[in-house]
Structure 1
Amino acid sequence: MSSPDPQVRAARNPSTSPTPGEEPSTPAARGGGPVRGPVVAVTGAAAGIGAMLTERLAASDEIKQVVAIDERRGECADAQWHILDVRDPAIAEKLRGADVVVHLALDLDLETDPAARTAYNVRGTQTVLTAAAAAGVHRVVLCTSAMVYGALPDNELPLSEDAELRATAEATGVGDLLEVERLARRAPRAHPGLNVTVVRPAVLVGGTDTALTRYFESPRLLVVAGSRPAWQFCHIEDLCAALEYAALEKVEGELAVGCEGWLEQEEVEELSGIRRMELPSAVALGAAARLHRIGLTPSPAGDLAYTMYPWVVSGSRLHEAGWRPRWTNEEVLAELLGEVAGRHTLAGRRLGRKDATAAGAAGATVALLGTAALVRRARKARRRI
């Protein structure tokens, strides 16, 4: 997931620094009286999900103070800002006095080098968990994705939170998220007294750019023959509300979050007005793998599984705690379609206006299967260098 997402790294700007001596305003300072709620630290607070959650928590009468951590200063004036990389062990001092840490400094950008992305995500999560324990924080909230359950033909509809995590590392960022999940399970054993809550959103929508949101930028919706897609979305506002529930300790454990129910592929096509392009599995997966291998698309073939098979979640733990999504799948899909209007993507690759016009004229099937032409173009470009 790229910015903003559960998994989001804020834009980098190390040269930005906080105003010396500046004190944040708090609900009490604004005349609301003393607040007895927790002090909550948010990493990745300058942009995306982190920025939205920081603003939400800072406005809450149930939060005593918000500590915002990122590599640049964000917009929220009511938070106490600390400017540093989450991989810096000095973060432990910045977390001292916090009751809860919500760790959202993840990089799931499609264009980031995979090795650099993994190094940032895993090392950052390790450092935050260790620093939180050292600082006396009693709860850390991590955000991964419901993708960790895996998209498989025999998945139940819906999956419970306790369902086995059967995903593999073949899709964008999923390997990193599985490692974050492993660190979450290990942390309470390594640091007795530290509670770790994990929030797993469905397809995240709301200013996001992922392989799954790019699926709806194509001139045709790719459907793999014999597959059984089921679409469940999660609006970023609902995710922030669920993260707030976790930060306020209204719910704990492993939490799945998404809209109620799901949409079948036929419903998605009817609502979107985008027609399908159906291909045999071997053709679709083979073409996607070749295009990714030669560097022409950012999405590996593993991303296709999440458009082929269901990975719908129940969200029962949040529901039992009183949380409900405000958005429906139909509403979130409509918002997504509005966001991607005017963008053109084939096989996960963004196209310029000229390429998009040609692709529309030739048809999506020709564009997807025209691997040889793309390879020739890439080879000619390399020879010119």
Structure 2
Amino acid sequence: MRVVVTGATGNVGIAVLDALAAEPEVTSIAGLARRRPDREKAGVEWVSADVRHSDLETLFRGADVVIHLAWSFQPTRQPLETWRTNVGGTERVLEAVAAAGVPALIYASSIGAYSPATGDDPVDETWPTEGWPGASYMVEKAYVERLLDLFEHRHGECRVVRMRPAFLFQDASASEQRRLFAGPFVPNRLFRTGPLPLLPYPRRLRFQTLHTTDVGRAYAAAVVRDVHGAFNLAADPVLDRAEVERTLGVRTVAVPQRTVRTAVAAAWHLHLVPANPGLFDALLHLPVMSTRRARAELDWTPRIAATDTLRQFLDAFRRGAGGPTPSLAAEAGGTARHREISSGIGARDPVDE
């Protein structure tokens, strides 16, 4: 079985490659990335490619499965640029999958595609996917869901799987995720896993997370099993204020959401952080996902608890840990690079998811 992976060098990509390499049915793996890694990876053929303009049909020909992970988070101040990669690039992937006659497509959707929810009752994969209108990431994820609806209608012969994971973390992604969401002006010591004097915590904030190695296993299971449709992916427990206190050994103080949003918006307008306040709004309205379908049909269960994932990631964040690919390298960013992103200069190329 030959599998082609777009965005193969990112946070999810490297975990997916490892999981695929462990599957006996997978005999050939092509890892597509805009920036080809210097080092080889056992069992993986690196291919330099950009979903915006490369000849994807030729690259996909002969594949049994295409896994589409490539996604750009920045520059958030230029949403047209991310749209060209995330929506336009995905349109080109879908066209190439159809033209090359690939039997199966697995797409990296997200919890961010889901419509807002106000309660804590877990939702299944039938929950509406209209996203949050104030954040480009959510709008683009929701729009691609509509592209997939149309693709399935036109190409019923292709098995389509949509993975909708919660927030994904691993040690190797710490530096990349700092560059994408926090920026270099947030001190490492703020995220140490030892006791903090007091941690401000937005009221009613709760979220789900998952270790990236576990999501890689889910993708590999979807490759070798005859499944289709959407799968929610998350680990227990749901992280709320009480759980964060227990996990990190800190005392928290509830802060009004409006206060936190005002602070985030001020930092955004001062170009101190690369993540806009719309992402914070979206975070507060995400549903809690049920993972019953993935556990049943993929025979998948997370091996790492959400609490352990959070604790390990914050320690890696503090240490400035990075990964072995250009996207994940610890030295790939910095203050100068952050200023380029914040001002809308540079950062026009895809960041592999």
TM surpasses 0.5: yes
Deviation of 1:221 after TM superposition, in Å, equals 4.1
What does residue 347 of structure 2 align with?
none
Report which stretch shifted further, 162-171 or 95-104.
Answer: 162-171
Alpha carbons 2:105, 2:159 under 8 Å: kept: yes
Give the direction of change, closer, same or farther, for the CA distance of 1:222–1:211 in structure 2 (3 Å limit): farther
1:283 Cα deviation from its structure 2 partner: 3.0
Q: Is the 8 A contact 2:237 2:307 kept in 1?
A: no
Q: Which whole-Å CA distance do the structure 1 matches of 2:78 and 2:251 have between them?
A: 33
Q: Which residue of the partner structure matches residue 94 of structure 1?
A: 59
1:105 and 2:70 aligned:
yes
Asked whether the 8 Å contact 1:292–1:298 carries over to 2, the reply is: yes
* Aligned partners of 1:221 and 1:275 also within 8 Å: yes
Residue of 169, 183, 193 corresponding to 1:205: 169
Question: Which structure would you say has the larger RCO, counting Cα contacts within 8 Å and 6 or more residues apart?
Answer: 2
Q: Percent identity?
A: 27
Aligned to 1:19: none
Q: Give me the whole-angstrom Cα distance separating, in 2, the residues matched to 1:170 and 1:99.
A: 37
Asked if the contact 2:130/2:142 (under 8 Å) is kept, the reply is: no
Moved over 6 A (4+): 212-216
| Corresponding residue number in structure 2 for 1:43 | 6
Aligned to 2:273: 297
Q: 1:133 is matched with which residue: 98, 101, 113?
A: 98
Contact kept? 1:171, 1:299, Cα under 8 Å: no
Higher deviation after alignment, 104-113 or 91-100: 104-113
1:1-385 correspondence to structure 2 within 5 Å: 38-74=1-37, 75-88=40-53, 90-109=55-74, 113-152=78-117, 154-171=118-135, 173-206=137-170, 207-208=172-173, 209=177, 211=181, 217=191, 221-224=199-202, 227-305=203-281, 307-309=283-285, 311-321=287-297, 322-341=299-318
**Contact 2:163 2:231 (C-alpha < 8 Å) held by counterparts:** yes
Distance 1:203 1:142 in 2: 16
Question: Structure 2 stretches of 5 or more lacking a match?
Answer: 321-332, 336-342, 344-353
Q: CA deviation at 1:260?
A: 2.8
Q: Where do 5+ consecutive residues of structure 1 fail to align?
A: 1-37, 344-349, 353-377, 379-385
The residue type paired with residue 281 of structure 1 is: Q
Give the match's secondary structure for 1:313. Answer: coil
Seen in structure 2, the aligned counterparts of structure 1 residues 110 and 324 have a Cα distance that, compared at 3 Å, is farther
> What letter corresponds to residue 341 of structure 1 in structure 2?
R
**Residues 39/183 of structure 1: CA separation in 2 closer, same or farther (3 Å cut):** same
CA 1:87–1:351 in 2, change beyond 3 Å: closer, same or farther? closer
Match of 1:29 in 2: none
Cα distance change of structure 1 residues 157 and 275 upon mapping to structure 2, 3 Å threshold? same
Whether the 8 Å CA contact 1:272–1:337 is kept in 2: the answer is no
> 1:78-118 CA deviation, whole Å, 9 max, x = no partner?
23343221223511011111111001111224778433222
Does the CA contact (< 8 Å) of 2:112 and 2:286 recur in 1?
A: no
How many residue pairs match? The answer is 307
Following the alignment from structure 1 to structure 2, what is the Cα–Cα distance between the partners of residues 310 and 212? 20
Q: CA offsets per residue over residues 289-344 of structure 1, 9 Å max, x none? A: 3432343322222222355455321111111121111111121122122112267x
Asked if the contact 2:166/2:233 (under 8 Å) is kept, the reply is yes
Asked whether the 8 Å contact 1:89–1:131 carries over to 2, the reply is no
TM-score normalised over the length of structure 1: 0.71
Q: How many Å apart are 1:232 and its aligned residue?
A: 1.7
Mapped to 1, the partners of 2:246 and 2:285 lie a distance apart of 19
Note if contact 2:114-2:286 (Cα within 8 Å) is conserved in structure 1: no
Partners of 1:237 and 1:275 lie apart in 2 by 30
Name the SS for the 2:105 alignment partner.
Answer: strand
* Structure 2 CA distance for aligned equivalents of residues 339 and 109 of structure 1: 22
CA change 1:307–1:136 in 2 (3 A) is closer
Give 1:185 deviation, angstroms: 1.5
CA distance in 2, matches of 1:221, 1:125: 40
Q: Which position in structure 2 is the counterpart of 1:374?
A: none
Letter paired with 2:310: L
Q: Cα gap change, 1:268/1:104 in structure 2, threshold over 3 Å: closer, same or farther?
A: same
Using the size of structure 2 for normalisation, the TM-score is 0.77
After TM superposition, give the deviation of residue 145 of structure 1 in Å. Answer: 1.4
Structure 1 position 63, deviation (Å): 0.8
Contact 1:44 1:106 in 2 (8 A): yes
Q: 1:171 to 1:304 in 2, by over 3 A?
A: same
User: In 2, Cα distance between the equivalents of 1:239 and 1:290?
Assistant: 34
The CA RMSD measured in Å over matched residues stands at 3.0
8 Å Cα contact 1:202/1:232 also seen in 2 = yes
Q: Which amino acid is 1:333 matched to? A: L
Are the equivalent residues in 2 in contact too, given 1:58–1:78 (CA < 8 A)?
A: yes
The CA distance in 2 between the partners of 1:91 and 1:280, in whole Å, is: 48
